[in-house]
Structure 1
Amino acid sequence: MKIEAADVIKGLPTQFFSTLVRKVGKVAEAGHDIINLGQGNPDQPTPAHIVEAAQKAVADPLHHKYPPFQGRIELKEAVAEWYKNEFQVTLDPGREVAIVFGGKTGLIEVSQCLLNPGDICLVPDPGYPDYWSGVAMAGGRMSFMPLLKENQFLPDFSKIPSKELGKAKLMFLNYPNNPTATTAPLSFFENTVRFAKENNIVICHDFAYGKIGFDGQKPASFLQAEGAKEVGVEVYTLSKTYNMAGWRVGFVIGNEEVVRLINLLQDHLFVSLFGAVQMASAHALTASQDCVRELVGIYEKRRNVFFDGLRQIGWHAEPSQGSFFGWLPVPEGFTSVSLADYLLEHAHLVVAPGVGFGDHGEGYVRVGLLTTEQRLEEAVARIDALKLFR
């Protein structure tokens, strides 16, 4: 019997980074010491007090049963309290907070809830590839918004073709940005709200790195802009803020109708997260936030060590403003892929080619500051030994 894949599966974008993983695997199998800066997986453990809260909740028979379909109110209330404390944003826990299985799931579900086949979604280029996956699953089309250095890696809405703009229903944004590691001022989000109202476009802001800002600067939430909840939602995850990537806890927050649609879709897919995980997540949001400040301090020290080292060897790159990534211009004579291959082969160093994040990512590679300062110093030393900048 021949099994034929559905058209929606056939239409999924190719996973660019699966090729990178295979290349790295071959070098690792040869026994080389690899420094992997190509990933986005937090390297620190979940704080002990969150783990302890989960252990206590696991022992509670209440959580051995199905949780409420749309999530526990304790967690939704904790999200609302956290947003009020951190960003002075007021949320209705019952109507403006949807619990999702990690931020990635929320981002994909937004497209599934809002796009019909043929509808246009405005997508940043470079940007997180899973935006593409959600649009493809919904049968939508993408119109790419270039993120250029000369515009501080912010999209220029005036450059969106009018033909595309007239058919656009959804826009993805992401600051602090993956992969460019830049932040956006509140004034940009205020302009975004005006643009969305004028053009009847729903905004989905991916705020995965929302607590990771450097040099004393606190990243702005899209929801801080006046009128933001009228035009869109923000997707937040505990993965980066609390080193809870494997716990798969995220939220879609803001516009009441979009939240309702997310909950409706999930009613047909899931029975919410394991209750003990939800209660531990609520504890993470309402307990002391010292662990978050300490984590940001770790990333800032790593950023300083790495970028200072690059400057000393002649690789001139703008230090990251936020997130735990770095966005490095490719030296003359290389493409993003050829540089990544060269560093892997000759320095046993993994970086992510910028073109994997979109056509306008060409000319850059992304690094993840997800290893120790000592290993970052060693990475710089290995690059220096190749004499690429002499």
Structure 2
Amino acid sequence: MIEVAKRLQTVEEYYFSKKLREVNVLMASGKPIINLGIGSPDLAPPTKVISTLVESLSHSNAHKYQSYQGLPELREAMVSFYRDQFNVYLSPTTEVLPLMGSKEGIMHISMAFLNEGDEVLIPNPGYPTYASVTKLVEAVPVFYDLTEENGWVPDIEKLEERDLSKVKIMWINYPNMPTGAVASEAVLIRLVAFAKRHNILLVNDNPYSFILNENPRSILEIPGAKEVCLEMNSISKTFNMAGWRVGMLMGNSERLSHVLKVKSNMDSGMFYGIQKGAIEALKCSKMWYVSLNDVYKERRELMWKLAEALNCTFDRKAVGMFVWARLPEGVKSEAFIDLLLKENHIFIPPGTIFGSNGEGYVRFSLCSPTDVIEEAIARVK
């Protein structure tokens, strides 16, 4: 028998990969399951994006290998996007690297900078991939607390009390998933200063800036941030293109060159038509964001009603495409979602999949039409 690599003993199959099999079995047996779990946009991308993709298929270069660094015009579109949206100025030749989604970026950054035994500061609650990738590259996850009482932002004073001598990378994610919290400019300034003091690479994962958020912000806006920070972004949520797998990594040219060494050995470039479509998406006018958020506002109002019907509480100031809700006192997250699935045929993820500080919380996705959310409300009332 051929044994699997030891690194696989450190991680489990991704929660949604596993749980959705169970949900699909229930659906196949005839159960009318409402899935309010995953943040996969159900709306269409901009029309021009689709037509550009179709037109690109007849281009003479469309079906060849593409550059590991993406088309020059894609990089130009990405830096223009950052200039227009965040007032951040970057070089299109050296300070932006297109990615096949942010999850790829997490792996590539980790492989570029982490050695066995290096430590990584990871938010709790937070995106599970930060911890699983850290383990896969044989580094050590060190979880830091995010709490409702502290606005779901890092407590710098508590971090300073730790032994940080082995910490190489710190992951942050603002606007935050799963909580919807935003980090003020003051918080970002303190985080950049913290990273400088301790020689830590601070990476902000930033795909939710434009969903129900009136003040989009990049950590690269902070003076001196480029010295210690990288930022990932994505077109998945902003332009309803999750399946296209297009992300971007921005920051210091030397650090990006290290990531490119990893990336160039793991893929052979992004499909030409997808790059051309992404360029069109990044050119969208402000009306795109307004119309998109009008839809999400209507859905969020209904999701708040569903949360209230389940006796949950939540922060109406939170942003992004989820509602992070606190369960009634003493109710356990996984028991709650299993009961909801069994009795009401509604699936939502428990807060515990994002870390121990997610106990007592659940997360609702806004990626379902209003009639589906209304049906969910009717089932629980």
TM-score, structure 1 normalization: 0.93
Whether 2:265 is the aligned partner of 1:268: answer: yes
- State the shift of 1:162 in Å: 4.1
Alpha carbons 2:303, 2:323 under 8 Å: kept? no
Alpha carbons 1:170, 1:203 under 8 Å: kept? yes
What is the rounded CA distance, in whole Å, between the counterparts of 1:313 and 1:68 in structure 2? 50
Alpha carbons 2:70, 2:269 under 8 Å: kept? yes
Query: Counterpart of 2:367?
Result: 370
What is the rounded CA distance, in whole Å, between the counterparts of 1:213 and 1:184 in structure 2? 15
Alignment of structure 1 residues 204-215 onto 2, 5 Å: 204-214=203-213
The amino acid that maps onto 1:47 is P
The amino acid that maps onto 1:298 is V
Alpha carbons 2:170, 2:201 under 8 Å: kept? yes
1:278-328 deviation per Cα after TM superposition (whole angstroms, max 9, x unaligned): 121112112434223211221122112221454467433222521100111
- Give me the identity figure in percent: 35
The amino acid that maps onto 1:360 is N
* Distance change in 2, residues 1:164/1:13 (3 Å): farther
The amino acid that maps onto 1:118 is G
What is the rounded CA distance, in whole Å, between the counterparts of 1:69 and 1:333 in structure 2? 51
The amino acid that maps onto 1:99 is P
Deviates more, 1:68-77 or 1:192-201: 68-77
Query: Counterpart of 1:151?
Result: 150
Alignment of structure 1 residues 133-282 onto 2, 5 Å: 133-160=132-159, 162-214=161-213, 217-282=214-279
Whether 2:358 is the aligned partner of 1:361: answer: yes
Alpha carbons 1:303, 1:319 under 8 Å: kept? no
Question: What SS does structure 1 have at the residue aligned with 2:236?
Answer: helix
Whether 2:284 is the aligned partner of 1:317: answer: no
What is the rounded CA distance, in whole Å, between the counterparts of 1:312 and 1:351 in structure 2? 14
Query: Counterpart of 1:124?
Result: 123
Query: Counterpart of 1:84?
Result: 83
Query: Counterpart of 2:69?
Result: 70
Query: Counterpart of 1:327?
Result: 324
The amino acid that maps onto 1:370 is C
1:246-274 deviation per Cα after TM superposition (whole angstroms, max 9, x unaligned): 11111111122221111111111122101
Whether 2:303 is the aligned partner of 1:306: answer: yes
* Distance change in 2, residues 1:289/1:277 (3 Å): farther
Deviates more, 1:267-276 or 1:237-246: 267-276
Deviates more, 1:43-52 or 1:344-353: 43-52
Query: Counterpart of 1:32?
Result: 31
Alpha carbons 1:303, 1:320 under 8 Å: kept? no
* Distance change in 2, residues 1:303/1:65 (3 Å): same
What is the rounded CA distance, in whole Å, between the counterparts of 1:59 and 1:164 in structure 2? 57
TM-score, structure 2 normalization: 0.95
What is the rounded CA distance, in whole Å, between the counterparts of 2:6 and 2:105 in structure 1? 22
Question: What SS does structure 2 have at the residue aligned with 1:124?
Answer: strand
Match of 1:293 among 276, 285, 290: 290
What is the rounded CA distance, in whole Å, between the counterparts of 1:339 and 1:309 in structure 2? 14
* Distance change in 2, residues 1:213/1:190 (3 Å): farther
The amino acid that maps onto 2:318 is Q
- State the shift of 1:378 in Å: 2.3
Question: What SS does structure 2 have at the residue aligned with 1:63?
Answer: coil
Alpha carbons 1:213, 1:219 under 8 Å: kept? no
- State the shift of 1:161 in Å: 6.5
* Distance change in 2, residues 1:10/1:311 (3 Å): closer
Match of 1:346 among 340, 343, 346: 343
1:157-184 deviation per Cα after TM superposition (whole angstroms, max 9, x unaligned): 2212644422111000111111111111
* Distance change in 2, residues 1:275/1:334 (3 Å): same
What is the rounded CA distance, in whole Å, between the counterparts of 1:315 and 1:78 in structure 2? 42
What is the rounded CA distance, in whole Å, between the counterparts of 2:27 and 2:168 in structure 1? 44
- For structure 2, list consecutive stretches of 5 or more residues without a partner in the other structure: none
1:106-130 deviation per Cα after TM superposition (whole angstroms, max 9, x unaligned): 1121111111000000000010111
Query: Counterpart of 1:388?
Result: none
- For structure 1, list consecutive stretches of 5 or more residues without a partner in the other structure: 385-390
Residues paired across the two proteins, number: 381
Question: What SS does structure 1 have at the residue aligned with 2:176?
Answer: coil
* Distance change in 2, residues 1:26/1:224 (3 Å): same
- State the shift of 1:334 in Å: 2.4
